[in-house]
Amino acid sequence: MYDFLIFTITIAGIYAIMALGLNVLAGYGGLLNFGHIAFAGIGVYATGIAHARGWPVLVGIPLGMIAAMILGWAMARLGRRLAADYWGIATLAVAEILRTVALNEDELTGGANGITGIPGLFESVASPWDQVYFSAVVLGIVAVTAFFSARLGDGRFGRALRLMREQPALAACMGYNLQKIKSHAIMCGGAITALAGSLYAHYFNFAGTEFMLAAETFVLWTMVMIGGMGRTAGVLLGVILVQAVYAFVPFLRDLLGFGSDVAGALRLGLIGAILLICLLWRREGLLPEKLRNPA
């Protein structure tokens, strides 16, 4: 039971970091990135490849963050001539291309088998405590990320992003280089998400393409949308709600005794239904973003 609790907390923490990353570009900047999971995938594989090549495995974390920033820059550049909805589809395509490449380049990524045997962060610690330490590290990173993301959102950069979201023409008039702040937001959110991806690989000791399915991006979007886009506390609340649903389904499964297909359907359907209900009746999320009063 305690194992399950610690497992749930750790996973929720990792997703919280990813969702905070998405919040920087989608919440503050209003950018429709439907391929956000590609950044996490880069983090996962950076750690995996660093391990497979025999490099010190912690090198994977900065490596993944740098690679994610390069990808973010490229994505932003792709968006230079595109309307928001077209860009959303383009990012979906980028994520799927990266997933297909990861699935097929056996020499680099291990193909469909993935890269196994990635060491955890606390290999030398005895059995129950390594999990506890790991979740403590994850929660610590969540706290630091949340603090900085809130600071970022209230600072000059966050205000510029919000202005770009609400009134792009006005933001341009005030002398902001929209392309540049867009690109910085994507790079920043991408780097945070890649960090979470690396943690994911360390936690499961495995790097594979299952982490990179488009459905995972949608889960991140659900977390950010139901909690409240653009507000750190809202995003964290959304993560907790979605993870609660995920943790609840196995219990229901044992209780009612249905098959794995129904369990999968229930997870997906509940998340979809929650997102839909939230969009229809409480579009700003449970904890709405607080915009400063102009007066």
Partner 1 sequence: MLQFLVDALLRTADLALITLGLSMLYGLIRFPNIAHVQYAMCGAFLAYAINSAGAPLIVSVVLASILTGLLTLVIQLLVFDRLLKSGPAIAMIGSLAVSMVLVASVLGIAGSFPHMFSLPHTEPLIIGDARISHTQLWFVLTTLVLLTLFVLLLFHTQVGRAMRALACNPALADASGLNASRITNGVTFISGMLAGLGGSMLSLSTGAHVNLGYDLLLPVFAAAILGGLGNPIGAVAGAALIALTETAVTNINFGPLLGETLVFLPVSYISAASFLILLLALLFKPYGLFDREVRRV
User: Is the CB of residue 53 less than 8 Å from the CB of residue 109?
Assistant: no
Among 100, 113, 167, 177, binds partner 1 (CB under 8 A): 100
Q: How far is the CB of 195 from partner 1 (least distance, A)?
A: 25
Q: Among 171, 161, 143, which residue's Cα sits nearest to residue 24?
A: 161
**140 touching partner 1, by CB under 8 A:** no
Looking at the chain, list the stretches that DSSP marks H as alpha helix, in order from N- to C-terminal side: 2-22, 37-52, 60-78, 84-104, 106-109, 127-154, 156-166, 168-173, 178-204, 214-227, 232-256, 260-281
Q: How far is the CB of 143 from partner 1 (least distance, A)?
A: 28
**Which of the stretches 55-63, 198-206, 243-251, 278-286 binds partner 1 when contact is defined by CB under 8 A?**
278-286
3-state secondary structure of 90: helix
End-to-end CA distance of the chain: 52
* Radius of gyration, CA atoms only, the chain: 19
**68 touching partner 1, by CB under 8 A:** no
User: Is the CB of residue 45 less than 8 Å from the CB of residue 57?
Assistant: no
**Which of the stretches 4-12, 121-129, 136-144, 275-283 binds partner 1 when contact is defined by CB under 8 A?**
275-283
Among 5, 144, 174, 215, binds partner 1 (CB under 8 A): 215
**250 touching partner 1, by CB under 8 A:** no
- Name the site residues for partner 1 (rule: CB under 8 A): 30, 32, 34, 78, 81-86, 88-90, 92-94, 96-97, 100-101, 103-104, 214-215, 218, 221-222, 225, 259, 261-262, 264-273, 275-276, 279-280, 283
